[in-house]
Structure 1
Amino acid sequence: MTRFVCLSVLVLLAAVAVSSKPNEDYDKEHIAEVAEECKTESGATDEDVEHMMQHEPADSHESKCLRACMLKKFEIMDDEGKLNKENALEMVKVKSKADAEMEAAATEIVDKCEGIEVPEDHCDAAAAYEECIMDHIHEHGLSLE
């Protein structure tokens, strides 16, 4: 669950509203399909996708853009490059399966990261959100595995 929170909220993330039911949006197969689309759109490599899935920091602009694309496709980042708190929390709610502790931690993380100053470049903004989310996940003692 926490691994998915990171991927989705980033990558941190995520997905509410591609076009299917929420539970279907969040399955691993759908995430992999979106990652492949975003890899192509961003010019990222298979290695960039693997690094993202392993929660490693982006090491190139294309890798940052891969993450921004994922966040946008899952409507976790809006067209202005800002975190969409409502959609991020909805995703967490669906994936947490009524785990109140997980929802509370995720809500706190999203609240903290939503308000950070991010660069205008959406790719760099995605990386900034990811860094914030990862920092707070660790502060909460959550594991990504």
Structure 2
Amino acid sequence: MLQKSNCLVLALVCSGFLLALVSADEEEVSMTVDEVVELIEPFGDGCTPKPARENIVELILNKEDPKKESKCFRHCMLEQFELMPEGQLQFNEDKTIEMMNMMFPDREDDGRRIIKKCNELLKAEQDKCEAAHGISMCMLREMRSSGFKIPEVKQ
């Protein structure tokens, strides 16, 4: 069974804001891209299409315009963590807030505002992979602009 911190890392990776992976000079836990790839790779086994390493790396690095397979892997992981439930094209607000509160317990109102804004922004998107990627990237941008401390992943 995965440790709670590893589950959080995975949830954060798939939702687009990689909070638990910071540089070694920070007080937080630090992981390399290769370590995160190794952690995430097994979650691709149940995804269609099964992601290649390149797709996992694009996800971890939050590439703005990744390959379609990378976007679909993001959707698959979001679905596995119930952040974007099966058959839905938007983030589940309560589940996403629950996850965000683990890292930012004093920012729930900001988190709800961001989730609502990003879900609304992409409400017309009908492709599940594009919706998952678009909402995730919107949330990442909005969190950064709202002063959430979101570290960059170093390669």
TM-score by length of 2: 0.64
For residues 74-85 of structure 1, what are the structure 2 equivalents within 5 Å?
74-79=81-86, 80-85=88-93
What secondary structure does 1:81 align onto?
A: coil
Which of 79, 90, 104 aligns to 2:98? It is 90
Q: How far is 1:110 from its partner?
A: 1.4
Which of 115, 125, 129 aligns to 2:131? It is 125
**2:143 — aligned with what?**
137
Higher relative contact order (CA 8 A, sep 6+): 1
For residues 1-145 of structure 1, what are the structure 2 equivalents within 5 Å?
8=12, 11-12=15-16, 33=39, 35-38=41-44, 41=47, 42-79=49-86, 80-96=88-104, 99-100=105-106, 102-116=107-121, 117-145=123-151
Does the 8 Å CA contact 1:109/1:137 hold for their aligned counterparts? yes
CA deviation map 1:50-71 (0-9, x unaligned): 2211222252111000100111
Does the 8 Å CA contact 1:78/1:84 hold for their aligned counterparts? yes
Q: 2: CA distance between counterparts of 1:13 and 1:143?
A: 10
Moved over 6 A (4+): none
Does the 8 Å CA contact 1:10/1:133 hold for their aligned counterparts? no
Q: 2: CA distance between counterparts of 1:65 and 1:113?
A: 18
The size of the alignment, in residue pairs, is 125
Q: 2: CA distance between counterparts of 1:103 and 1:32?
A: 31
Q: 2: CA distance between counterparts of 1:58 and 1:40?
A: 24
Distance change in 2, residues 1:49/1:118 (3 Å): farther
Q: Which has more radius of gyration? A: 2
Which amino acid is 1:52 matched to?
A: L
* Farther-moved stretch of structure 1 (63-72 vs 86-95): 86-95
Q: 1: CA distance between counterparts of 2:51 and 2:92?
A: 24
Q: How far is 1:39 from its partner?
A: 5.9
Q: Please, what is the CA RMSD of the aligned residues?
A: 3.2
CA deviation map 1:27-69 (0-9, x unaligned): x99x965553226623222122122112222521110001001
Q: What stretches of structure 1 of length at least 5 have no aligned partner? A: 15-27
Q: 2: CA distance between counterparts of 1:13 and 1:50?
A: 14
